[in-house]
Amino acid sequence: MNPELRNLIALQDLELKSAELQKQLSDIPLQIQNLNEELARLTSAHEERVAAAKELANRRRTLEGQVDMLWAKLARLKDQLMTVKNNKEYTAMLNEIQTTEGLIREEEDKVLEMMEEMEARDRDLASAEAEMRTQSAALQEVIRTTGDSVPGLEQQLARLEEERESVAALIDSELLARYRQIAGARKGVALAEARDELCSCCHVRIRPQMYADLLRTDDIFYCDSCSRILFSREGQ
**Interacting positions 159-188 with Zn ion (CB under 5 A):** none
Choose between 183 and 226: whose C-beta lies nearer to Zn ion.
226
Report how many residues bind Zn ion under the rule CB under 5 A: 6
From the CB of 206, what's the least distance to Zn ion, in Å? Answer: 8
Nearest-CA neighbor of 156 among 9, 22, 7?
22
Q: Does 143 bind Zn ion (CB under 5 A)?
A: no
Of 202, 210, 220, 232, which lies in the binding site for Zn ion, with binding defined by CB under 5 A? 202
Q: Does 200 bind Zn ion (CB under 5 A)?
A: no
Q: Does 199 bind Zn ion (CB under 5 A)?
A: yes
**Selected range binding Zn ion among 17-25, 100-108, 150-158, 197-205, rule: CB under 5 A:** 197-205
Distances from the Cα of 180 to the Cα of 83, 191, 224, angstroms: 109, 11, 18
Of 11, 70, 190, 226, which lies in the binding site for Zn ion, with binding defined by CB under 5 A? 226
From the CB of 198, what's the least distance to Zn ion, in Å? Answer: 8
Q: Does 223 bind Zn ion (CB under 5 A)?
A: yes
Choose between 171 and 201: whose C-beta lies nearer to Zn ion.
201
Choose between 160 and 223: whose C-beta lies nearer to Zn ion.
223
Choose between 143 and 226: whose C-beta lies nearer to Zn ion.
226
From the CB of 227, what's the least distance to Zn ion, in Å? Answer: 7
Q: Which residues bind Zn ion (CB under 5 A)?
A: 199, 201-202, 223, 225-226
